[in-house]
Chain A
Amino acid sequence: MKAPQSSPKPDEEIRIGVYVCHCGLNIAGSVDCEEVAKFAATLPHVVLSKDNRYTCSDPGQELIKKDIKEHKLNRVVVASCSPRLHEPTFRRTCEEAGLNKYLFEMANIREHCSWVHLYEKEKATEKAKDLVRMAVAKAALLQPQEELVVPVTRKALIIGGGVAGIQAALDLADTGYKVYLVEKEPSIGGRMAQIDKTFPTMDCSICILAPKMSDAGRHPNIELLTNSEVTEVKGYIGNFKVKVLKKPRYVTEECTACGDCASVCPVIAPNEFDVGLASRHAIYMPFAQAVPSTYIIDRSLCLNESFIVCDKCMNACERHTVNFNMLPETVELDVGTIIAATGADVFDPTSLMSYGYTEFPNVITSLEFERLINAGGPSGGRLIRPSDMQIPKTVAFIQCVGSRSAKSGHLYCSNVCCMNTIKDALLIKEHWPETKIYVFYVDIRAYGKGFEELYKRAKEEGVTFIRGLPAEIIEDGRTNNLVLTGENTLRRDLYEISVGMVILSIGIEPRQDSDVIQRLLTLSKTSDGFFMEAHPKLKPVDTPTGGVFLAGCAESPKDIKDSVTQASASAARASILMAKGKVTVEALTPIVNPENCQVCGLCARVCPYNAITADKELKKTEVIEAACAGCGTCGAECPFDAITMRHFTDEQIYAQIDAATEQNADKKIVAFCCNWCSYAGADFAGVSRMQYPTSVRIIRTMCSGRVAPKFVERAFARGVAAVLVAGCHIGDCHYINANYQTKRRVEKLWKKVERLELNKERLQLAWISAAEGERFASKIKEMQSIVDKVSKEEIEKSKMLFKKAR
Chain B
Amino acid sequence: MPLRIWREPLDLDKTKVRRAEIRIIKERCRGCGFCIEFCPKDVLEVSKEPNEKGAYPPKLVDETRCALCSFCQTVCPDVAIITIEKEL
Contacts and interface: CB of A to CB of B under 8 A. Distances in A.
A413 B7 CA distance: 28
A276 B68 CA distance: 24
Contacts of A270: 5, 7-9
Contacts of B80: none
Interface string B1-29: 11111111111100101100000000000
Nearest to B10: A378
| B interface, over-half SS | loop
B5 A279 contact: no
B4 A266 contact: no
A435 B68 CA distance: 45
Given A303-B67, A310-B40, A310-B71, A277 B10 contact: yes
B41 interface: yes
Contacts of B15: 268, 279
Given A266-B67, A305-B40, A272 B5 contact: yes
Interface stretch (A30-38, A39-47, A340-348, A476-484): A340-348
Interface in A306-343: 307, 309-310, 312
Given A345-B2, A512-B1, A309 B40 contact: yes
B84 interface: no
A279 B7 CA distance: 10
Interface string A644-658: 000000000000000
Given A309-B71, A310-B69, A276 B9 contact: yes
Contacts of A348: 1, 3-4
Contacts of B1: 345-348, 509, 512
A266 B7 CA distance: 20
A272 B3 contact: yes
B68 A266 contact: yes
B5 A275 contact: yes
A378 B41 contact: no
Nearest to B16: A263
A63 interface: no
Contacts of A310: 40, 67, 69, 71
B5 to A, nearest CB: 4
A158 B3 CA distance: 23
Given A267-B67, A279-B15, A358-B4, A309 B38 contact: yes
A278 B11 contact: yes
Interface in A288-308: 303-305, 307
Most buried by A among B2, B6, B11, B18: B11
Most buried by B among A268, A271, A272, A347: A268
A346 B3 contact: yes
B33 to A, nearest CB: 15
A271 B7 contact: no
A348 B17 CA distance: 30
A266 B6 CA distance: 21
A597 interface: no
Contact of B6 (A358, A389, A509): A358
A350 interface: yes
Contact of B10 (A278, A347, A350): A278
| A interface, over-half SS | loop
How many interface residues does chain A have, given as a range? 20 to 34
Contact of A378 (B2, B9, B69): B9
Nearest to A347: B1
A384 B3 contact: no
Contact of B7 (A267, A268, A276, A389): A276
A135 to B, nearest CB: 53
Contacts of A305: 40
Nearest to A372: B10
Nearest to B1: A348
A379 interface: yes
B69 A309 contact: yes
A309 B18 CA distance: 17
A297 to B, nearest CB: 14
Contacts of B2: 345, 512
A557 to B, nearest CB: 15
A367 interface: yes
B17 to A, nearest CB: 6
Given A303-B69, A310-B40, A367 B3 contact: yes
A311 to B, nearest CB: 9
Nearest to B40: A303
Contacts of B67: 266-267, 303, 310
30 contacts: A267-B67, A268-B12, A272-B5, A274-B9, A276-B6, A276-B7, A276-B9, A277-B7, A277-B10, A278-B9, A279-B15, A303-B40, A303-B41, A303-B67, A303-B69, A304-B40, A309-B38, A309-B69, A310-B40, A310-B67, A312-B69, A345-B1, A345-B2, A345-B3, A348-B1, A348-B4, A379-B10, A384-B10, A386-B7, A389-B10
Interface of A: 266-268, 270-272, 274-279, 303-305, 307, 309-310, 312, 345-348, 350, 358, 361, 367, 378-379, 384, 386, 389, 509, 512
Given A268-B15, A274-B9, 14 more contacts: A276-B6, A278-B9, A303-B41, A303-B69, A304-B40, A345-B1, A348-B1, A348-B3, A348-B4, A350-B4, A358-B4, A358-B6, A378-B11, A509-B1
Interface of B: 1-12, 15, 17-18, 38, 40-41, 67-69, 71
